[in-house]
């Protein structure tokens, strides 16, 4: 991932933490939310925690892209400063959301846990990626169009009777140039009860 190019999340509605508050029609070529495998999607799977470096943040939705980009940049700088080995694509865990604001943890997964003696700086800290039962969805297309993906996710969860927890994770699978880059590919993990 480009060191600072990470998209911002869509605004969730209070009733469903992973659902956006507004509808944005997808751009041509953007895909609607689809479970990654039609047969496996109806069945949640267990995600195991991985060691990570995390930088916490909070922002208004309209400033989300900038806030997440900055936080991931700080996490990556801490990783490089401590000479740690990256163990996966960057992720952002949304841990508290409402119509106007959100709180998050921007994380860079690691190959191994951070030793207690490693200095990560003032803002980064050792962490673990979220773990638990989740369903994986894909978004392909500009992040500006992710609202429609979250709406499709909400419809899928409602149809299948799944109850989402108040945490969801976006994993950025490539390096977008910005929120309007239609080449973006990301996985969205919705943790369920």
Token digits of residue 19? 């659902």
Residue bearing the bigger pLDDT, 74 or 35: 74
User: Domain with 158 in it: what CATH number?
Assistant: 3.20.80.10
pLDDT digits (tens, 9 = 90+) for 79-108: 999 999 999 999 999 999 898 999 999 999
Is 3 domain-assigned?
A: no
SS3 string, 60-80, reads: EHHHHHHHHHHHHHHHHHHHH
pLDDT for res 42: 54
Q: Is residue 153 assigned to a domain?
A: yes
In-domain check, residue 77: yes
Q: Is residue 122 part of a domain?
A: yes
**What's the pTM?**
0.77
What does the DSSP assignment read for 117-180?
T---TTT-EEEE---EEEEEEEEES-GGGHHHHHHHHHHHHHHHT--EEEEEEEEE-S--SSTT
Total tally of structural domains belonging to the chain? 1
C-alpha Rg value of the chain to the nearest Å: 16
The model's pLDDT over 42-77, given as tens digits with 9 standing for 90+, comes to 579 999 999 999 999 999 988 887 898 899 999 999
Token pair for residue 77? Answer: 């700088």
- Residue 43: the pLDDT is 75
What is the residue range of 137's domain? Answer: 12-20+28-37+45-192
């Amino acid at each position: 991932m480009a060191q600072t190019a990470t998209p911002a999340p869509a605004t969730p509605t209070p009733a469903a933490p992973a659902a956006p508050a507004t509808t944005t029609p997808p751009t041509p070529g953007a895909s609607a939310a689809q479970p990654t495998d039609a047969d496996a999607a109806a069945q949640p799977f267990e995600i195991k925690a991985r060691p990570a470096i995390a930088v916490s943040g909070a922002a208004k939705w309209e400033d989300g892209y900038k806030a997440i980009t900055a936080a991931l940049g700080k996490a990556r700088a801490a990783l490089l400063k401590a000479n740690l080995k990256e163990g996966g694509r960057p992720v952002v865990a949304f841990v508290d959301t409402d119509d106007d604001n959100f709180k998050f943890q921007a994380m860079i997964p690691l190959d191994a846990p951070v030793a207690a003696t490693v200095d990560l700086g003032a803002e980064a800290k050792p962490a673990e990626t979220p773990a638990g039962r989740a369903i994986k969805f894909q978004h392909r297309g500009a992040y500006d169009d992710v609202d429609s993906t979250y709406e499709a996710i909400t419809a899928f969860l409602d149809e299948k009777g799944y109850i989402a927890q108040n945490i969801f994770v976006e994993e950025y699978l490539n390096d977008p140039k910005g929120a309007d880059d239609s080449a973006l590919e990301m996985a969205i993990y919705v943790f369920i009860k």
